Structure 1
């Protein structure tokens, strides 16, 4: 299954001409999972190739405005486009009140189900073929980091071996790739293990939220395929970063190196640089 990470906003505090405030979308198959939803997020979604109607879950890291003020508009836009599917919104303690306020502003009332679920450090949300786990990080207000991790995936498909065994190209290939046994016209049963390599670990993506550099995040991010980490300031403002519960770009790189992640993406960049 294809997986895309789309950076809808990488700025901090307020939008600038070059950067919107925080929001990251993960598109997995036909499902979109959103991490943070700063103001203007729905416009960024429209500028991307994503559909806001495919958003199933929204995870809010904390309740500074640049991370959640896009919720009311996005919720209403889904309503105006006749959404029927439920929307799940997760966050630290207080998310229920935030969502209740968002859906009672003005005369608007959503007609589709919206569920607000409060999470604490160590909780895990199960999805279709993946899970999202949480960890408290070091910011000035209660903040959660999130890790999306796929379930173990089937091994790589050996097309040449399948053809050698007499499996015709087409739907039977897909069944084997999905871990299903098939029966050929001559009665032979082909097991997935006959054409698949060893199982592969699922991909893991970590979203730090706003945070000072912390060792607990190193452990939480170990061997991740992608770490998306706060990098609000450059190193000359390290003291300012510490005071306001943020990291410098260099500190983010040091965390990524310690965690041995495959890729690092920097976000929450101060408007002074953008």
Structure 2
């Protein structure tokens, strides 16, 4: 699983950072890409990324502020011209469906594929063969949700030599055993999956939280996650203003990661008031609370593999 950041700024685009958007590249898990938030010019950012718009099948919107949704109508429209014919499932707060419907009515826009809009509430909002996704309201100046993505447990490794010893022929029966199913051989012998596979492996958990001030809901969403992606709009110097406008400081984001016992924290939604030259000090402030911390920049791509997070590239 890879994470690609398309926009890591706050409020409005700057020369260094576009508005909020990131993609979970789940090609290896289910051949899908999931988009979280879609700020202005997200489709432009995609042109410089590894992500193909037609492969984005699910979109999760944290809240309805413009820097998180103003790129959505354009992206959904352009996706059709870029070969996207499959349905898209869109998740977000109440009001999202009305806003999109009005936008497309006024502009005379027609989508040639099915758009399924799900207005979310706290709890389980999506379950597939591979994943469960939960939403929970966090604390912002308007209704805002964080999302917890849990990969279901993975099959253990098939011990081929043991399976062959038990008389299992090469072919589809081996795959059934690997997938956790017991099989019956032609001679009447039952071969149990647990006898020829290692123990099932725990899947990964990622929590994505958009705009929020420090709150218990964020800690709950992030509980023991492998990766927490959390806004960190300001340094601690601006803590009072951060709370007033429903945002978090880098120290508060790090504190949530620490209290939730996450493995890795990636912060984004950085205010344009902070110049690139100030990012080292910004990082130090957060690392003093939680050492396993990265500050995302536009086009940074992270990979989660073998229970380790690695930064692969940056434009």
Q: Note whether the superposition's TM-score is higher than 0.5.
A: yes
Give, in whole Å, the separation in 2 of the partners of 1:197 and 1:251: 40
Alpha-carbon RMSD across the aligned residues, in angstroms, is 2.3
Q: Which residue is 2:97 aligned to?
A: 96
Q: Which residue is 1:203 aligned to?
A: 204
Give, in whole Å, the separation in 1 of the partners of 2:45 and 2:158: 36
1:269 aligned counterpart, secondary structure: coil
Q: Which residue is 1:35 aligned to?
A: 36
Q: Which residue is 1:106 aligned to?
A: 107
Structure 2 CA distance for partners of 1:192 and 1:71, relative to 1, 3 Å: same
1:22 to 17, 20, 23: 20
Higher mean C-alpha displacement, 183-192 vs 225-234: 183-192
Q: Provide, for residues 38-71 of structure 1, a one-character-per-residue CA deviation record: whole Å limited to 9, x for no partner.
A: 1121222232222111111111111111101111
2:107 aligned counterpart, secondary structure: coil
Give, in whole Å, the separation in 2 of the partners of 1:250 and 1:120: 28
Q: Which residue is 1:11 aligned to?
A: 9
Higher mean C-alpha displacement, 14-23 vs 253-262: 14-23
Give, in whole Å, the separation in 2 of the partners of 1:20 and 1:175: 46
Superposed, 1:67-216 pairs within 5 Å as: 67-158=68-159, 161-162=162-163, 174-181=175-182, 190-216=191-217
Gaps of 5+ in 1: none
Q: CA deviation at 1:108?
A: 2.4
Are 2:33 and 2:57, in contact at CA under 8 Å, matched by a contact in 1?
yes
Q: Which residue is 1:249 aligned to?
A: 250
Q: CA deviation at 1:164?
A: 6.1
Q: Which residue is 2:262 aligned to?
A: 261
Higher mean C-alpha displacement, 101-110 vs 247-256: 101-110
1:135 aligned counterpart, secondary structure: strand
Are 2:54 and 2:80, in contact at CA under 8 Å, matched by a contact in 1?
no
Q: Which residue is 1:222 aligned to?
A: 223
Q: CA deviation at 1:127?
A: 2.7
Higher mean C-alpha displacement, 249-258 vs 38-47: 38-47
Higher mean C-alpha displacement, 152-161 vs 40-49: 152-161
Are 2:9 and 2:268, in contact at CA under 8 Å, matched by a contact in 1?
yes
Give, in whole Å, the separation in 2 of the partners of 1:160 and 1:214: 52
Q: Which residue is 1:50 aligned to?
A: 51
Give, in whole Å, the separation in 2 of the partners of 1:32 and 1:257: 29
Number of aligned residue pairs: give it: 272
TM-score when scaled to structure 1? 0.89
Gaps of 5+ in 2: 276-315
2:135 aligned counterpart, secondary structure: strand
Give, in whole Å, the separation in 2 of the partners of 1:123 and 1:271: 35
Give, in whole Å, the separation in 1 of the partners of 2:192 and 2:52: 37
Q: CA deviation at 1:176?
A: 3.4
Higher mean C-alpha displacement, 254-263 vs 197-206: 197-206
Q: Provide, for residues 48-98 of structure 1, a one-character-per-residue CA deviation record: whole Å limited to 9, x for no partner.
A: 222111111111111111101111111111222353321111111101112
Q: CA deviation at 1:264?
A: 0.6
Give, in whole Å, the separation in 1 of the partners of 2:47 and 2:184: 45
